[in-house]
């Protein structure tokens, strides 16, 4: 299958190491971190070296390989017990992204069948999880593109691209496919404060693939829609509950309200590993609150009045009723009518 506009990979296994593209330094530096210890993987996830729910899950899977390798070198009979704490710390690194725990469970399923060195079997499973994510993104790109009209102008939020996944992207996978098909004519990206994933990451990776992009501040989205410059909003997700409520980067809920007000369609693109059928609705999702320094400072310098406090939730909940379509690799759902039951998960 020929896929245009597909050059960025944030996570790689190379020379018995986990290689992560340090997304904190983009777009100005392309630095690869080479990790051999699971504690460094946990820290990299916490510190936003790697981010985006699918990419976090893939990274955690490789983290299990590193943990098992170290533990097996210490005790070839007791390695599973030795890595329990490592797995717990990995699971808590970013609590909202359900793919993290999903990937850890996928890896743990393999434990019972392992005799001897665990690395070959676990590495094969991590690579399978990685490749399946890329394949799912290709499929979602096709399914999402089918929903789009010709001459479509889209707005996206945060970074749901190759950098947030194994490759190709969820929301940006649809945008890549839609652009390749000649359906998408304009791409707008929110800056996405406070980490500026839109301006630093989404703009960077689209430009890597020669897809033109226009940045705007979040506060400009309403005016873009009012001026009839946007046809669809396309975003990713970090967790989708059974009724179709969507947890995604803070600001997504506001975009959904604006889209409904202005007659703009709203699409969420995420693999089924992001769907958490154990939670009935979005009120049950644990929302990660991050350090106030992310809001009060920029590039290490104070930008706010000294003494001001900050509220910094990383995610918000978009009710299913505001979402027109949820696109997964297993099919397209209209969440307001059926929740996620239509997928048979």
Q: Give the separation between CA 12 and CA 61, rounded to whole angstroms.
A: 12
Active site residue 281: no
The alpha helices in 92-184, defined as continuous H runs, are: 98-109, 119-147, 171-180
Selected catalytic residue, list 6, 209, 238, 324? 238
Tell me the three state secondary structure of residue 90. Answer: helix
Place of tokens 């094969």: 124
Contacts for 206 with CB less than 8 Å, ≥ 6 apart = 161, 172, 175, 187, 189, 212, 213
Q: Give the separation between CA 129 and CA 95, rounded to whole angstroms.
A: 20
Name the strand (E) or helix (H) holding 64.
Answer: helix 53-74
- State the catalytic residues: 238
């Amino acid at each position: 299958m020929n896929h245009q506009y597909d050059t960025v990979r944030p996570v790689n296994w190379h020379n018995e190491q986990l290689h992560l593209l340090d997304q904190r330094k983009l777009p100005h530096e392309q630095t690869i971190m080479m990790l051999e210890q699971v504690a460094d993987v946990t820290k990299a996830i916490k510190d936003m070296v790697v981010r985006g729910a699918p990419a976090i899950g893939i990274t955690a899977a490789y983290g299990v390989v590193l943990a098992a390798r170290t533990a097996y070198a210490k005790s070839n009979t007791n390695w599973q017990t030795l890595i329990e704490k490592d797995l717990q710390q990995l699971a808590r690194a970013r609590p909202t992204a359900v793919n993290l725990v999903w990937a850890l469970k996928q890896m743990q399923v393999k434990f019972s069948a392992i005799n001897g060195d665990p690395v070959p079997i676990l590495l094969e499973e991590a690579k399978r999880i990685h490749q399946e994510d890329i394949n799912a993104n290709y499929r979602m790109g096709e399914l999402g593109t089918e929903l789009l009209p010709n001459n479509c102008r889209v707005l996206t939020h945060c970074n749901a691209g190759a950098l947030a996944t194994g490759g190709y992207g969820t929301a940006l996978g649809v945008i890549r496919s839609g652009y390749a098909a000649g359906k998408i004519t304009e791409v707008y990206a929110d800056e996405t404060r406070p980490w500026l994933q839109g301006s630093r990451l989404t703009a960077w990776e689209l430009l890597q693939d020669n897809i033109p992009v226009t940045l705007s501040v979040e506060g400009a989205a309403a005016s873009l829609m009012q001026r009839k410059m946007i046809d669809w909003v396309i975003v990713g997700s970090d967790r989708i509950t059974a009724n179709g409520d969507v947890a995604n980067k803070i600001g997504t809920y506001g975009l959904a309200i604006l889209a409904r007000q202005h007659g703009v369609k709203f699409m969420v693109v995420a693999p089924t590993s992001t769907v958490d059928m154990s939670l009935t609705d979005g009120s049950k999702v644990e929302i990660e609150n991050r350090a106030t320094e992310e809001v009060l400072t920029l590039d290490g310098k104070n930008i706010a009045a000294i003494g001001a406090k900050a509220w910094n939730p990383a995610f918000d909940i978009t009710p299913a009723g505001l979402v027109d379509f949820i696109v997964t690799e297993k099919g397209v759902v209209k969440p307001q009518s059926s929740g996620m039951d239509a997928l048979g998960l």
